Structure 1
Amino acid sequence: MGITAADRTFASLIGDTESFFAQHFDRQPLLRRGALADRVGDLVTVDRLDDVLAMQAVSPAYVRLAKNGQGVSSKAYTRTTGDHATGLAETVVPERVYELFRSGATVSWNHLEHLLPPARHLADVFARTFACPAEVVAFLTPAGHDGYAPHHDPVDVFVIQIEGTKDWQVWQPPADRRGDSVRYPADQLGEPALRTTLRPGDVLYLPYGTPHAAAAREQVSLHLSVTVAPRRWRDLLVETVQELVRDEEFHDVPFLGEATARDAADGHRGRTADRYREKVAELCARLTALAADDETERLAEAGRARAGVDRSREFARLAALDALTAEARVRRTEAPVELGASLDGKTSLLVNGHRLAVPDAVADTLRALERGGSLPAGGFLAGAPEDRSVRAARQLARLGVLQAVGRAEA
């Protein structure tokens, strides 16, 4: 069985990861021939893009067109739709997009991961690798036409050729990389560092700020660009400081306004400056005492947990709970649980905004599982029949307190 979009890894796209991060990442382009060979069809096809366009309700935020190296106004391929109940909305008109494509326009689909599950799986691979959101953009260029004029993007770009071929020119990343998208006059860049033709299955990596241009020749060309914007040192340090200053030590409010004559006479502003120096010294002390290993792991987890990175399987999880058996083992999740006092054999429990009363035996089991380990769902409620114990385990699993343990973990 071949590799599918759901189980593709970062290494399957770029090869040896140690070599990539040592020699290419944020340094120089990488061309990997035949990385996906004949396995690109599970990502996206021209037919699937026809299906997306045929939904008749695609927002212009998802579709862009460019012709002769310049963007096409969305007014040329959208219309206003809606009724009295839903209000007005702009939607893409497939017939107008097709007409522009026939006349030489490149069509791009932004955030394809919002529209197609295989693209979402692909975005997940990069989001987990770089601990930041990833976007998948599809570019469909008619035969014999350029896409966009030479430009660079303020993101790292991984190009995957899907159908047809495309000629690429890539220039060396400049020493001074600008943080915005820039287009270049044809005579400004000089000789490209790389000229190549991408064929289905080829992967091309372009570091942040790398000037490039591409054109389709004898066939319609479809490629995906996966873009990521890894956090830089300044971003990570800002996040660390923000986390540290949540402490009550930094919660009081200083006076920074215009001083009155009396305030000036009392040295009010001088006292504020002294207090500021104290706070800076306290922050520096906490930064110095920070456990770097723990903090970098926290930053990585925080990046993976951001909206657009984590792909929840909540419907699937809840559906699987209906098949939870007495023999299936369960354990505590990381969800915070507040156990209150016991009253008439019931203990108050607060989790995810839900407050309920559970038998004391359930509370005791939850406390025991705080230390780790697992137990059969049929024995979760000590002294109770198996079916009742399983029902209790299911209820807490639905609330996110428990999770089923895989066979490898049991």
Structure 2
Amino acid sequence: MFARWAGDATVGADQRDLPPWQRHHPSPIPVRERTARPSAPACSCSRIRWKVSDLFERGPMYVPSFAELVGDEDDFFAYHFSKAPYVRRNALAADPKEVLSVADLDEILRQETLRPHHLRIVKAGSLVSDETYVRTSHGRSDGAIVTENVYTQFRSGATIVWNSVQHFRRNLRALAETVAEKLAAPTDVFAFLTPAGGRGSVPHDDRGDVFVLQLNGTKIWRVWPAPEIRSDGAASYNTESLGTPELETALQPGDVLFIPQNAPHVAMAEDAVSLHVSLTAQPATWSALVRLTVDKIIEDGVRLRTCPHLSDGNVLAHAQQLRGALDGLADRLRQVDAEREIRRLTALHTSRPSALDERAFHSIARIDECRETSRVSRTDAELTFRKSADGRVEFGLGGATVSLPESVSKALDAMASGDSLIARDFLSRVRPEESVEVVKKLARLGILAIEQKAAR
């Protein structure tokens, strides 16, 4: 039914000795195929590499860029985002095993921190009870995974699913953060390990948009069109009732498949163990965004915080009160600055802590080493100032409020341009050591940054 991508019929003689992610495969389905360009010049944005020292995350780690997943970003959001599937051949710039390998899953499975909610086992389209692979003590589950039982299920044809696998792989956390920021949506990562010839789930859809990264083996996918009206839930389907798939393809390591929200799909491994990760993002619908706007207005409305005594005897009186509340809400909605509100909603869905800021505690501890000659600069942290009656200024930062002398706000305003200065010169008319202490406090809050080397 499907071409064997590693076979002689589809790979040129000059490419047979190359690993799959370096080959250029012809596409059996000309529509909706988006081919990466392996010969394009390398650039600094094609991948991110950084040092880590976790128990099983040693050495450089590869984090695919968003461009590797989608190609042209404008085309993706115009034609595919929550609309239509596509395949990108050879999309990953490095060895797919550097994203996640089968051996990595062995390491994760052996970690004592793994709990039943991190794992699912699916066999012949049905979920296997966790009682078959969770240890019991005195007749009760103690939450520990019995690894040998998981291996037994896999040997017998079951697909093993790691839920939220980004909790165990820092590069997947970084990738999830990138997708979450680009799509303005919370993003989770799942790893699917399927034995040769195995099929995990029956045809189903997902509540969010899905990026599938094939990392090991070959998997055959069928994807049907997404319905015009989307639902918040997931559903299973009968293959006969779905009709002709919109896309049929076989993914090789390094390929990326995009599946829009609610598009039914099913997959089956070929003659080797298949490993893929799915990044599932759940973008907010307009109904969810409007609800957030209404919720904010309601939270600000003092009159709506009273509690009526609902009863059959008070229906008419409460109906009049409800009508007044709804009319007031309608008036407030008409006064909403739509541009300002959409900026607030965008920030709400895209502002997340960076997955690459992995040494925050260490950085905070290094602040104690600040000296009078240390050079400091203003960070890009957004502050709100409010002058209090005692001549001090209250700073609002990320939900925290700090009170400091008014001279501090003036010093920060002077640094707004991004200029740096010596710690002892941050505050004038005070002793150098007092200026340094204020600098340390602001650095701990993330308002100032201290360079590692002191100025002379």
With normalisation by structure 1, the TM-score equals 0.83
Computed over aligned residues only, the root mean square deviation of the Cα atoms, in angstroms, reads 3.3
2:427 aligned residue (381, 390, 393): 381
1:3 aligned residue (32, 35, 47): 47
**1:54 counterpart residue number:** 110
Report how many residues are paired.
Answer: 388
Asked if 1:369 corresponds to 2:412, the answer is yes
The Cα of 1:186 is off from its aligned counterpart by 3.6
Q: Measured at CA, do residues 373 and 386 of structure 1 come closer, stay the same or move farther in structure 2, by a change above 3 Å?
A: farther
The Cα of 1:241 is off from its aligned counterpart by 0.5
Q: Distance in 1 between matches of 2:254 and 2:293?
A: 40
Q: 2:174·2:356 contact (CA, 8 Å) conserved in 1?
A: no
Percentage of identical aligned residues: 34
Q: Distance in 2 between matches of 1:285 and 1:202?
A: 51
Pairing 1:288-327 to 2, within 5 Å after superposition: 288-305=334-351, 314-322=360-368, 324=370, 326-327=374-375
Q: Measured at CA, do residues 189 and 353 of structure 1 come closer, stay the same or move farther in structure 2, by a change above 3 Å?
A: closer
Q: 2:393·2:409 contact (CA, 8 Å) conserved in 1?
A: no
2:276 aligned residue (217, 223, 226): 223
Structure 2: runs of 5+ lacking an equivalent = 1-43, 51-62, 452-456
Q: Distance in 1 between matches of 2:349 and 2:306?
A: 30
Q: Distance in 2 between matches of 1:355 and 1:38?
A: 46
Pairing 1:95-244 to 2, within 5 Å after superposition: 95-244=148-297
Asked if 1:403 corresponds to 2:448, the answer is yes
1:26 aligned residue (75, 78, 82): 82
Larger mean Cα displacement after TM superposition, 139-148 or 180-189: 180-189
Q: Measured at CA, do residues 225 and 401 of structure 1 come closer, stay the same or move farther in structure 2, by a change above 3 Å?
A: closer
CA displacement 1:373-399 (0-9 Å, x = unmatched) = 45523312213454542232012321x
Q: 1:42·1:118 contact (CA, 8 Å) conserved in 2?
A: no
Q: Measured at CA, do residues 179 and 57 of structure 1 come closer, stay the same or move farther in structure 2, by a change above 3 Å?
A: same
**2:125 counterpart residue number:** 69
Q: 2:173·2:355 contact (CA, 8 Å) conserved in 1?
A: no
Larger mean Cα displacement after TM superposition, 301-310 or 60-69: 301-310
Asked if 1:285 corresponds to 2:328, the answer is no
The Cα of 1:247 is off from its aligned counterpart by 2.1
**2:377 counterpart residue number:** 329
Report the AA paired with residue 47 of structure 2: I
The Cα of 1:220 is off from its aligned counterpart by 1.0
The Cα of 1:288 is off from its aligned counterpart by 1.8
Q: 1:37·1:200 contact (CA, 8 Å) conserved in 2?
A: no
Q: Measured at CA, do residues 365 and 306 of structure 1 come closer, stay the same or move farther in structure 2, by a change above 3 Å?
A: closer
Report the secondary structure of 1:187's partner residue: helix
Q: Distance in 2 between matches of 1:22 and 1:187?
A: 31
The Cα of 1:60 is off from its aligned counterpart by 0.8
Q: Distance in 1 between matches of 2:356 and 2:296?
A: 21
Larger mean Cα displacement after TM superposition, 131-140 or 378-387: 378-387
Q: Distance in 2 between matches of 1:255 and 1:387?
A: 58
**2:91 counterpart residue number:** 35
Q: Measured at CA, do residues 299 and 250 of structure 1 come closer, stay the same or move farther in structure 2, by a change above 3 Å?
A: farther
Report the AA paired with residue 152 of structure 2: E
**1:14 counterpart residue number:** 70
Report the secondary structure of 2:241's partner residue: coil
CA displacement 1:288-338 (0-9 Å, x = unmatched) = 221212111111211234799997863254145345563222358435566
Structure 1: runs of 5+ lacking an equivalent = 264-268
The Cα of 1:21 is off from its aligned counterpart by 1.4
CA displacement 1:249-301 (0-9 Å, x = unmatched) = 533536463364xx7xxxxx545434433332322222222121211111121
With normalisation by structure 2, the TM-score equals 0.75
